[in-house]
Amino acid sequence: MKKLKIKQIKSGIDRPLRQKRTLIALGLTKMNRPREVEASPQVLGMINKVKHLLSVEEV
């Protein structure tokens, strides 16, 4: 599977609880900290829900 490098570039403050929990589930707890994840259908769905808060690159 492909790996994706995701980084939170916008704050989760003043966002719906569902989006905050999605960020935590992706392992993003602080801004500008990159994280590498496998590109499974579940992870791609979570990234799609909060794509306006993230920067995504293929590794």
Please write the tens of the pLDDT for every residue from 2-52. Answer: 999 999 999 999 999 999 999 999 999 999 999 999 999 999 999 999 999
Q: What is the pLDDT of residue 12?
A: 95
> φ and ψ at 25, to 5 degrees?
-65, -30
CATH superfamily of 3-58: Ribosomal protein L30/L7 (3.30.1390.20)
Domain positions in the chain:
3-58
Whether 59 and 35 have beta carbons less than 8 Å apart is answered as no
Q: How confident is the model at residue 1 (pLDDT cuts 50, 70, 90)?
A: confident
Residue with token string 């990159």 = 34
